[in-house]
Amino acid sequence: MKMRTRYLQRYIMSVLLACLFVVGTHNSWASQPPAQTQWDSFKLPDGHLPGYQGLLVFKIIPDQGIYTYSFDPGPTGYPTKLTILGELGDHLQVYYPAGEIHPDPFDPTELASIYLGTTPIFIPVPEEVDRHGTIQARASFLLCSDRNCWPVNKNVVYDLSQLDFSSAAKAIDQSWWLRWLDAVPGGSDDSGISPSIPEVTDVRLSMNEYEFDTRSFTPGLEVSNIAMASILAVLAGLVLNFMPCVLPVISLKLRGMIPDNSNGQSSAAKRRAFRIHNLCFAAGMLIFFTILAIVISITGMAWGQIFQNPMAIVVLGAIVFGLGLSLFGLYDLPIIDLKSGSKPGYKNPYIEAVSTGMLATLLATPCSGPFLGGVLAWALTQPPATIAFVLLCVGVGMASPYITMSIFPFMVRYLPGPGNWTLYLEKGLGFLLMATCIYLITLLPETLIMEALILFWIIGLGAWIWGKWTSLSQTRLKRSSIRAAALALIIVSFFLLFKPRTQYSVAWINFDEQKFHSLLGEENFLMEFTADWCPNCKFLEKTVLTPAYMEKILEDHDLLFLRVDLTYQNPAGEAVLRALDSMSIPLVAIFNKDNPESPLILRDLFTRKQLMKALDQELE
């Protein structure tokens, strides 16, 4: 034990000493959300849109390599919206261009509608609008590169006194003219002119690099060399222990400070165990930061970028959920066991402390605090060796409270003595871990939340089998077989739930009254009425209205797919439902463009064969 203690102390001291002898100089940088917006006015062709003065266009102009999600982004993404405020909101209608369908860069298993390049949002100005007023609007959209996103939500203003449509540029000459015709109801190119639309480039374009002469509001805290970076990194790591965002890991840290005298240890033995636990916990933190430093310096990942990967969040959530179940006494873990009074010889306290320290640090990596932002902004632009060194300094700072407690083990006497209260504390910490699971679930794309909840339910079942179907009275073979079956159940379920999905070209169009009217009599389309609270609707979507079967339907019939979501109040959608002589869902309506006044409807549950027969009957 003494040799292990000396080894840990030497490892930690070597890292501390390294912080004192590395010196260098470099520059810092900063960035802003990469896009601009502007208003433009255009003259419409004579007779194109009677009753309107002209066309006002609000443009979103992203930098190269940046895209936004469209007004109707699909199951993922954040919709681009321009909301007219005040009284003019009753007179001005906003029209959005169609987006390009691509695999979502942040969730390639889903298709998303994306705006690439300059995006025009159209506002035709009626004759009755007074040009002496002011348009006040709120623009909200999400700017994304292939690695980061910037949410934008800002007020924009346009002075109508600037309008002079008589001398404005002609809308028909603009590159977006066909997009306007597609967006406005009943739009058609009566001019016979078909302006060319610029070729769309790939979503994942390289970012432009800019150089700015920035001025910091707190110049004394700006990092300009590695000596200052190392000092501030240690301080940032220390402060990170007390930031509100590390609340999820408090349970992992507090448990290590709860004395356990279930084996009748002497005072000296308790101090020795306290020292070893804190040294191992600190070593776990430093080991994780060492691994993180190597990964970031090699791959160029950003701090906390692991949480951009949904699968990493699912795995981390599953681990935290399993730890929470162990605190409620459902089963005992062999590596990370946070409960007091575990079976003697059942776990290795050193491995447990190291692994718990690593897990606590992993959960804290999305956090930021004072000094850390400036340190990382400088460090992540430096060579790999510098990045690794600065991240190790952050790890030293975060581990410093536990190193301090290992140096002064007498501090254990100030901790409350063990008793039944520790059992209640364990349950409270268990609930805190469950709250952490809820937080992690909120980080997932909406399309993966249901799968994650199913996985957690299966983990609960597997933990119950592991802990309640086995006992020490069984043979080792039987006990190991039962636990292996429980573990296999969880692993197989994970791969089945999150296996790569086949990408299909079918895209559902979210219902919009304007879009619905434009499709009537112009296109064949299938309209589904659904809601998240409707189990029969979800059953149909999983068994009949699947992407694979919808693609098969497209092979035989030329039609679009329109979805009316009634999860929340949707007056326009509910009005269409009532017009179809129905007050309940699920409901599917098939509209023939040659007979739009008499759609064919399928109520409640139906089979694929019945759906295909209805389509053949209505569209052939």
pLDDT > 90? residue 489: yes
Q: Compute the distance between CA of residue 424 and CA of residue 328 in angstroms, rounded to an integer.
A: 10
Q: Compute the distance between CA of residue 444 and CA of residue 53 in angstroms, rounded to an integer.
A: 46
Confidence of residue 153 (pLDDT cuts 50, 70, 90): confident
**Coil, strand or helix at 256:** coil
Choice between 159 and 18, residue whose per-residue pLDDT is larger = 159
Please state the rounded mean pLDDT for residues 430-455: 85
Q: What's the pLDDT score for residue 618? A: 87
Question: Of 126, 133, 115, nearest to 59 (Cα)?
Answer: 115
Q: What's the number of CA atoms in the CB half-sphere (13 Å) around residue 337?
A: 20
What is the SS3 assignment for 392-421?
HHHHHHHHHHHHHHHHCHHHHHHCCCCCCH
**Residue 140 φ/ψ, nearest 5 degrees:** -135, 130
CB–CB of 397/237 below 8 Å?
yes
- Give DSSP secondary structure letters for 328-339: TTS---SS----
Q: What's the pLDDT score for residue 589? A: 92
Q: Compute the distance between CA of residue 193 and CA of residue 230 in angstroms, rounded to an integer.
A: 64
Choice between 544 and 388, residue whose per-residue pLDDT is larger = 544
CA–CA distances in Å: residue 15 to residues 20, 228, 406, 413: 9, 17, 16, 29
Q: What's the pLDDT score for residue 25? A: 31
pLDDT > 50? residue 58: yes
Q: Compute the distance between CA of residue 519 and CA of residue 515 in angstroms, rounded to an integer.
A: 6
Tokens describing residue 154: 């800002």
Q: What's the pLDDT score for residue 122? A: 93
Tokens describing residue 150: 């910037």
Confidence of residue 505 (pLDDT cuts 50, 70, 90): low
Give the predicted TM-score (pTM) of the model.
Answer: 0.52
**Coil, strand or helix at 587:** strand
What residues form DSSP beta bridges with 515?
Answer: none
Report for 118-127, 248-257, 418-427: range of highest mean pLDDT: 118-127
Q: What's the pLDDT score for residue 146? A: 67
Q: What is the identity of the amino acid at 104? A: D
Please state the rounded mean pLDDT for residues 353-376: 71
CA–CA distances in Å: residue 243 to residues 237, 394, 443: 10, 14, 19
Contacts of 302 (CB under 8 A, 6+ apart): 147, 148, 296, 380
Please state whether beta strands 107-116 and 67-69 pair in parallel, antiparallel, or not at all (unpaired): antiparallel
Q: What's the pLDDT score for residue 198? A: 36
Q: Compute the distance between CA of residue 453 and CA of residue 446 in angstroms, rounded to an integer.
A: 12
pLDDT digits (tens, 9 = 90+) for 20-57: 333 333 333 334 568 888 999 898 888 777 888 889 99
Question: Of 25, 126, 120, 28, nearest to 71 (Cα)?
Answer: 120
pLDDT > 80? residue 295: no
Q: What's the pLDDT score for residue 490? A: 93
Confidence of residue 305 (pLDDT cuts 50, 70, 90): low
Confidence of residue 299 (pLDDT cuts 50, 70, 90): low
CB–CB of 369/236 below 8 Å?
yes
What residues form DSSP beta bridges with 102?
Answer: 112
Domain residue spans of the chain: 2-18+220-439, 35-183, 445-503, 509-619
Choice between 307 and 122, residue whose per-residue pLDDT is larger = 122
Cis peptide before 45 (omega within 30 of 0): no
pLDDT digits (tens, 9 = 90+) for 588-617: 999 998 888 899 999 888 899 999 999 988
Q: Compute the distance between CA of residue 596 and CA of residue 580 in angstroms, rounded to an integer.
A: 12
Q: What's the pLDDT score for residue 14? A: 46
Please state whether beta strands 525-530 and 67-69 pair in parallel, antiparallel, or not at all (unpaired): unpaired
Q: Compute the distance between CA of residue 44 and CA of residue 173 in angstroms, rounded to an integer.
A: 10
CB–CB of 67/122 below 8 Å?
no
pLDDT > 80? residue 129: yes
Q: What's the pLDDT score for residue 119? A: 92
Q: What's the pLDDT score for residue 193? A: 37
Options 3.40.50.300, 3.30.2000.10, 2.60.40.10, 2.60.40.1250; CATH for 35-183 is: 2.60.40.1250
CB atoms closer than 10 angstroms to residue 70: 23
pLDDT > 50? residue 86: yes
What residues form DSSP beta bridges with 475?
Answer: none
CATH topology of domain 509-619: Glutaredoxin (3.40.30)
Q: Compute the distance between CA of residue 160 and CA of residue 129 in angstroms, rounded to an integer.
A: 9
**Residue 458 φ/ψ, nearest 5 degrees:** -70, -35
Confidence of residue 557 (pLDDT cuts 50, 70, 90): confident
Q: What's the pLDDT score for residue 433? A: 80
Question: Of 45, 38, 42, nearest to 55 (Cα)?
Answer: 42
% residues pLDDT > 90 (the chain): 12
Confidence of residue 506 (pLDDT cuts 50, 70, 90): low
Q: What's the pLDDT score for residue 326? A: 83
Question: Of 236, 183, 200, 190, nearest to 100 (Cα)?
Answer: 200
Please state the rounded mean pLDDT for residues 161-177: 85
Please state the rounded mean pLDDT for residues 490-509: 80
Least confident of 58-72, 136-150, 568-582: 136-150
pLDDT > 70? residue 189: no
Q: Do domains 35-183 and 509-619 have the same CATH topology?
A: no
Helix axes 384-407, 349-364, angle to 10 degrees: 130
Residue with tokens 């992407």: 547
Cis peptide before 151 (omega within 30 of 0): no
CB–CB of 230/85 below 8 Å?
no
Q: What's the pLDDT score for residue 21? A: 36
Confidence of residue 121 (pLDDT cuts 50, 70, 90): very high
**What is the residue-averaged pLDDT of the chain?**
77
Confidence of residue 247 (pLDDT cuts 50, 70, 90): low
pLDDT > 80? residue 547: yes
E-strand ranges in 172-250 read none
Give the largest Cα separation in the chain, rounded: 96
CB–CB of 461/279 below 8 Å?
no
% residues pLDDT > 70 (the chain): 74
Q: What's the pLDDT score for residue 304? A: 60
pLDDT digits (tens, 9 = 90+) for 471-480: 888 898 998 9
